[in-house]
A and B are shown apart, each in its own frame.
Chain A
Amino acid sequence: MALLKKKKPRVMPEIPASSLADIAFLLLVFFLVVTTIDADSGIGLVLPPPPEENVEPPEVRERNMLKILVNASGMILINERPASIQDVKNRVMEFVDNNGVDENLSVNPRAAIVSIKTDRQTPYEIYIDMLDEVRGAYKQLRDAVAMQRAGVPYDIYKGRQERAGEEDEVKEIYPMNVSIAEPDKGTGN
């Protein structure tokens, strides 16, 4: 009897497992937060609506249009003159921010249009590089104004205005009027 009684109170030794759930949960949350489903990034553009027959496209004064052509061999021509890719940014900034000073350049940034034309054989990569430069020009102009008004770069300014539900004045000053020119007909491969 004495022997049997002694054996009974023995308890199985247990590992404290109460925090295991927390550890697992923490791990899960960590990986959920760290994993990013890659968002799409790129250069946004708005295509012109299809041309209507019998309707003439609106007249644009010559000086308000900066024509950039990327030809079949990947050469860049700004207003029919050859230019290098590094020039594009400065040329666009000069053109947009002219405010009527030079009579060959735009009257004001709102009227300024950057017209982009490509050939069928134009390498896509150069086209994108060129678009990137044009965007860079606008970004610099917008950043400058945003700095002046709010003391922050345009990206942050834009976010603030959006959250506050106010109008984006910087965008109004420098609207990005990039237009894709009508491709030539009959220049098939």
Chain B
Amino acid sequence: MAFNKKNANTKQEIPTTSMPDIVFILLTFFMVTTVLRTTDLQIRVDLTRATNIEKIEQKRLISYVYVGPEKLEGNQIGDTKVQIDDVLIDNMTFIRRIMYDKLVEQPKLIVSLRVDRESEMGAVTDVQQELRQAGTLQINYSTRRQQ
């Protein structure tokens, strides 16, 4: 009897009112710390503006090719280079193979050319010629909307 008396009025529940807070804080923490992986641009790409542009809805179809002056140390810029994913392309003919491989994986591939506004057409033409050889004919000149 003495044993029973001890437990009589004690509540055994864990307080759960702060549960949502904990979940929310956890969620916020992970949302804030997660970084969506983006390509490290080794070249400067400052896009041009245009009015009559269209949006590409299917983001997964897009593959980017960057063209622009290479970023050098101390805010200097160098010659115009081409970058695909994370690497600078030294030899233009590599583009053909890279893009062909991508096309095999995604037959509806759209190549988005992100070209710096101060570039000349020479590099763009070279890239386009390689893309034609690779068979990736759908291209898109990335521009921002004119303000």
Q: A129-B50, A132-B51, A180-B128 are in contact. Are A120 and B141 (CB under 8 A)?
A: no
Question: Contact between A21 and B20 (Cβ–Cβ < 8 Å)?
Answer: yes
Min Cβ gap B88→A in Å is 19
Min Cβ gap A30→B in Å is 13
Q: How many chain B residues touch the partner (CB < 8 A)?
A: 46
Question: A1-27: contact bitstring with B at CB < 8 Å (1 yes, 0 no)?
Answer: 000000010000010011011001000
Dominant secondary structure of chain A at its interface with chain B: mixed
CA distance A120 to B115 in the complex (A): 15
Which of A42, A123, A125 is the one whose CB lies under 8 Å from B53? Answer: A42
Question: Contact between A120 and B121 (Cβ–Cβ < 8 Å)?
Answer: yes
Dominant secondary structure of chain B at its interface with chain A: mixed
Which of A20, A39, A70, A120 is the one whose CB lies under 8 Å from B59? Answer: A39
Which of A47, A118, A129, A135 is the one whose CB lies under 8 Å from B137? Answer: A47
Min Cβ gap B31→A in Å is 9
Q: What range describes how many residues of A lie at the interface? A: 35 or more
Question: Contact between A118 and B121 (Cβ–Cβ < 8 Å)?
Answer: yes
Which of A21, A45, A119, A124 is the one whose CB lies under 8 Å from B119? Answer: A124
Sampled A-B contacts (19; CB under 8 Å) = A28-B24, A40-B55, A43-B52, A43-B54, A43-B143, A44-B56, A44-B138, A46-B138, A47-B138, A49-B137, A70-B121, A118-B121, A120-B121, A120-B122, A123-B118, A124-B48, A124-B118, A124-B121, A125-B117
